[in-house]
Structure 1
């Protein structure tokens, strides 16, 4: 199993590149069109999700089950999250750069997301749900936390219909790299 050293991961993110495991091989990507979700007032919470949030169906935690969130994200028919990716990001988590937002109820962990926070950017890696709206609620809490930290860039790598409902857009690589350069001028604060 080949681990990616933390300094390599952080360096890649700061240049707009991220890894995925495919067929046992590590691949590096920098999409021509990049998915970005606004962290400011342009972030949109769909009406149905606002109703769900009012019911408080989950207890929200951060960084209490990082590995379990990664394993939940990997638990699907096709995944790019193999054991080397999990172990590499767990190490990054131990150093304070990788984070998870988790949705818990009386039955346990029901969904969440994980990603890398470096300087003024958060690089969303993956999300999962075992129960209704768990990953969506985790995303709302992530944006709230990023606002508190003054993080201005939420990178989703690619844009999906699921993410576009939150105001997510695709931006060309050159525009993304300008946004990333601005985010990398922010101090690297651990949390």
Structure 2
């Protein structure tokens, strides 16, 4: 889509997401752009909450915040190996966060960041990028609260990008690229407090 990382600017990032593409970094530091034929989206009425997750949420003992630790969430989502969240991507998303259209949801226990999810907004579509947990269920709790916030501020589409068994277990629905692009096109005309 773009010649590797020559166009790593927030403006190009926003343009690419409006075309349904998302970036992944390579081990050599370059960035490639992708579109998924098995796109995962969540209904903004809420994700599936299992009985055990509902019990964990009722038990409390954690605090949820938004945009308090964007870069820390993104760095926490990095995997020890086979990592697609590279330093150039971190710099790019942090720049979008500073501009006000990349956001994070954090879950804290005391002062410890124990879970989170981050992504970015284009019009009325929120594109969730990645999530992590350091304590059981904390990424699910972060995702639950992020979907709730997106509904509250007026998003009409919540994109989780590539379908996988974990997202499916949380209630994500699978769309073809063609179906997704129809929803995305409609969502781009919507503005929210987070876009």
How far apart, in 1, do the equivalents of 2:71 and 2:136 lie?
Answer: 21
CA root-mean-square deviation: 1.6
How far apart, in 2, do the equivalents of 1:161 and 1:47 lie?
Answer: 18
Query: Any idea what SS the aligned residue of 1:177 has?
Result: helix
- Alignment counterpart, residue 92 of structure 1, candidates 78, 91, 96: 96
Query: Any idea what SS the aligned residue of 1:45 has?
Result: coil
- Alignment counterpart, residue 42 of structure 2, candidates 30, 37, 42: 37
Structure 2, gaps ≥5 residues long: none
Q: Displacement of 1:169 after TM fit?
A: 1.6
Counterpart mapping for 1:1-191 below 5 A: 4-23=8-27, 24-40=29-45, 43-187=47-191, 189-190=193-194
**Which 4+ runs in 1 deviate beyond 6 A?**
none
How far apart, in 2, do the equivalents of 1:151 and 1:60 lie?
Answer: 20
Structure 1, gaps ≥5 residues long: none
Does the CA-based 8 Å contact 2:117-2:139 persist in structure 1? yes
How far apart, in 1, do the equivalents of 2:180 and 2:70 lie?
Answer: 28
TM-score, normalising length: structure 1: 0.94
Deviations 1:77-108 (A, max 9, x none): 22100100001000000000000100101251
Deviations 1:49-81 (A, max 9, x none): 111110113100110111100110014322100
- Number of equivalenced pairs: 190
